[in-house]
Amino acid sequence: MGKRYFCDYCDRSFQDNLHNRKKHLNGVQHLRAKRVWYDLFRDAAAILQEEQTKKPCRKFLQTGQCDFGSNCRFSHMTEQDLEKLSAQVQGERRSKELQQEGADVPPGAIEDWLEKRAKRLSAAQSN
Protein backbone atom coordinates (compact mmCIF):
# COMPACT_ATOMS: atom_id res chain seq x y z
CA MET A 1 0.00 0.00 0.00
CA GLY A 2 2.87 2.44 0.70
CA LYS A 3 3.08 5.65 2.65
CA ARG A 4 0.09 7.95 3.06
CA TYR A 5 0.02 11.73 3.29
CA PHE A 6 -2.47 13.39 5.64
CA CYS A 7 -3.46 17.01 5.00
CA ASP A 8 -4.39 18.78 8.24
CA TYR A 9 -6.16 21.62 6.43
CA CYS A 10 -8.46 19.35 4.40
CA ASP A 11 -8.66 16.51 6.96
CA ARG A 12 -8.04 13.82 4.35
CA SER A 13 -5.30 11.41 3.38
CA PHE A 14 -4.06 9.95 0.12
CA GLN A 15 -1.19 7.89 -1.25
CA ASP A 16 2.02 9.87 -0.85
CA ASN A 17 3.85 10.34 -4.11
CA LEU A 18 5.04 13.45 -5.90
CA HIS A 19 2.17 13.60 -8.39
CA ASN A 20 -0.63 13.16 -5.81
CA ARG A 21 0.87 15.56 -3.30
CA LYS A 22 1.49 18.26 -5.91
CA LYS A 23 -2.01 17.84 -7.32
CA HIS A 24 -3.55 18.13 -3.85
CA LEU A 25 -1.48 21.10 -2.68
CA ASN A 26 -2.36 23.08 -5.82
CA GLY A 27 -6.03 22.09 -5.72
CA VAL A 28 -8.85 24.55 -5.12
CA GLN A 29 -10.25 22.61 -2.14
CA HIS A 30 -6.90 22.62 -0.35
CA LEU A 31 -6.26 26.30 -1.04
CA ARG A 32 -9.72 27.23 0.29
CA ALA A 33 -9.29 25.11 3.43
CA LYS A 34 -5.86 26.63 4.04
CA ARG A 35 -7.22 30.16 3.62
CA VAL A 36 -10.08 29.49 6.05
CA TRP A 37 -7.61 28.11 8.59
CA TYR A 38 -5.35 31.16 8.47
CA ASP A 39 -8.31 33.55 8.50
CA LEU A 40 -9.15 32.26 11.97
CA PHE A 41 -5.97 33.86 13.30
CA ARG A 42 -6.22 37.29 11.67
CA ASP A 43 -6.69 40.21 14.03
CA ALA A 44 -9.81 42.35 13.96
CA ALA A 45 -7.97 45.43 12.65
CA ALA A 46 -6.85 43.57 9.50
CA ILE A 47 -10.34 42.22 8.91
CA LEU A 48 -11.89 45.67 9.40
CA GLN A 49 -9.44 47.32 7.03
CA GLU A 50 -10.08 44.68 4.36
CA GLU A 51 -13.88 44.82 4.71
CA GLN A 52 -13.99 48.63 4.56
CA THR A 53 -12.23 48.65 1.20
CA LYS A 54 -14.71 46.19 -0.34
CA LYS A 55 -18.04 47.14 -1.85
CA PRO A 56 -21.13 45.42 -0.38
CA CYS A 57 -22.28 42.24 -2.11
CA ARG A 58 -25.69 42.95 -3.66
CA LYS A 59 -26.74 39.33 -3.84
CA PHE A 60 -25.85 38.75 -0.18
CA LEU A 61 -27.76 41.85 0.90
CA GLN A 62 -30.85 40.86 -1.13
CA THR A 63 -31.02 37.14 -0.41
CA GLY A 64 -28.75 36.60 2.59
CA GLN A 65 -26.65 34.11 0.63
CA CYS A 66 -23.90 34.32 -1.94
CA ASP A 67 -22.78 31.56 -4.29
CA PHE A 68 -19.13 32.54 -3.83
CA GLY A 69 -19.17 32.39 -0.02
CA SER A 70 -15.85 33.35 1.58
CA ASN A 71 -14.27 33.63 -1.88
CA CYS A 72 -16.53 36.54 -2.86
CA ARG A 73 -14.62 39.72 -3.64
CA PHE A 74 -17.41 41.84 -2.17
CA SER A 75 -18.17 42.40 1.52
CA HIS A 76 -20.79 40.30 3.29
CA MET A 77 -20.81 42.54 6.38
CA THR A 78 -23.67 44.87 7.22
CA GLU A 79 -23.19 48.34 8.68
CA GLN A 80 -23.95 46.94 12.15
CA ASP A 81 -21.29 44.26 11.72
CA LEU A 82 -18.73 46.88 10.70
CA GLU A 83 -19.64 49.04 13.72
CA LYS A 84 -19.22 46.06 16.08
CA LEU A 85 -15.90 45.21 14.48
CA SER A 86 -14.62 48.79 14.77
CA ALA A 87 -15.69 48.87 18.45
CA GLN A 88 -13.76 45.62 18.98
CA VAL A 89 -10.68 47.11 17.30
CA GLN A 90 -10.89 50.19 19.54
CA GLY A 91 -11.18 47.98 22.62
CA GLU A 92 -8.15 45.95 21.57
CA ARG A 93 -6.13 49.12 20.99
CA ARG A 94 -7.06 50.46 24.45
CA SER A 95 -6.07 47.19 26.10
CA LYS A 96 -2.73 47.21 24.25
CA GLU A 97 -2.11 50.78 25.38
CA LEU A 98 -2.91 49.81 28.97
CA GLN A 99 -0.53 46.87 28.77
CA GLN A 100 2.25 49.06 27.38
CA GLU A 101 1.76 51.53 30.19
CA GLY A 102 2.22 48.70 32.66
CA ALA A 103 -1.34 48.66 33.94
CA ASP A 104 -2.99 45.39 34.86
CA VAL A 105 -5.21 43.67 32.33
CA PRO A 106 -8.84 44.19 33.32
CA PRO A 107 -10.53 41.09 34.73
CA GLY A 108 -12.56 39.11 32.24
CA ALA A 109 -10.28 39.84 29.30
CA ILE A 110 -9.45 36.16 28.88
CA GLU A 111 -13.12 35.17 28.98
CA ASP A 112 -13.94 37.79 26.33
CA TRP A 113 -11.15 36.49 24.13
CA LEU A 114 -12.36 32.90 24.48
CA GLU A 115 -15.91 33.96 23.62
CA LYS A 116 -14.77 35.85 20.51
CA ARG A 117 -12.63 32.90 19.45
CA ALA A 118 -15.57 30.51 19.81
CA LYS A 119 -17.71 32.81 17.64
CA ARG A 120 -15.01 32.99 14.94
CA LEU A 121 -14.63 29.20 14.93
CA SER A 122 -18.39 28.63 14.64
CA ALA A 123 -18.63 31.22 11.83
CA ALA A 124 -15.75 29.56 9.96
CA GLN A 125 -17.35 26.14 10.29
CA SER A 126 -20.69 27.43 8.96
CA ASN A 127 -18.93 28.77 5.84
Give domain status of residue 80, yes or no: yes
Across the chain, which distance is largest between two alpha carbons, in Å? 60
pTM over 0.75: no
Distance CA 54, CA 63 (A): 19
Give the number of domains in the chain.
Answer: 2
CA dist., res. 36 & res. 39, Å (int): 5
pLDDT of residue 71: 77
Backbone angles phi, psi at 56, to 5 degrees: -65, 145
Per residue in 89-119, pLDDT tens?
A: 998 888 888 777 765 556 667 778 888 888 8
Domain co-membership, 35 together with 3: yes
Residues 12/25, Cβ–Cβ less than 8 Å: no
pLDDT at 24: 95
Both 36 and 50 in one domain: the answer is no
Residue 65 domain-assigned (yes or no): yes
Owning domain of residue 26: 1-41
Q: Check whether residue 12 and residue 52 sit in a common domain.
A: no
Q: Is residue 50 part of a domain?
A: yes
Cα end-to-end span (Å), the chain: 35
CA atoms 106, 114, 47, 35: torsion sign: positive
Q: What is the pLDDT of residue 13?
A: 94
Residues 6+ apart with CB under 8 A from 37: 9
Q: What is the per-residue burial (b if ≥16 Cβ within 10 Å, else e) of 64-101?
A: eebeeeeeeeebbbeeeeeeebeebbeeeeebeeeeee
For residue range 41-58, what is the model confidence (pLDDT) as tens digits? 888 888 889 889 999 999
Is 60 exceeded by the pLDDT of residue 38? yes
126, pLDDT greater than 90:
no
Query: Which residues have C-beta within 8 Å of that of residue 88, sequence separation ≥ 6?
Result: 44, 116
For position 27, what pLDDT does the model report? Answer: 93
Same structural domain for residues 57 and 19? no
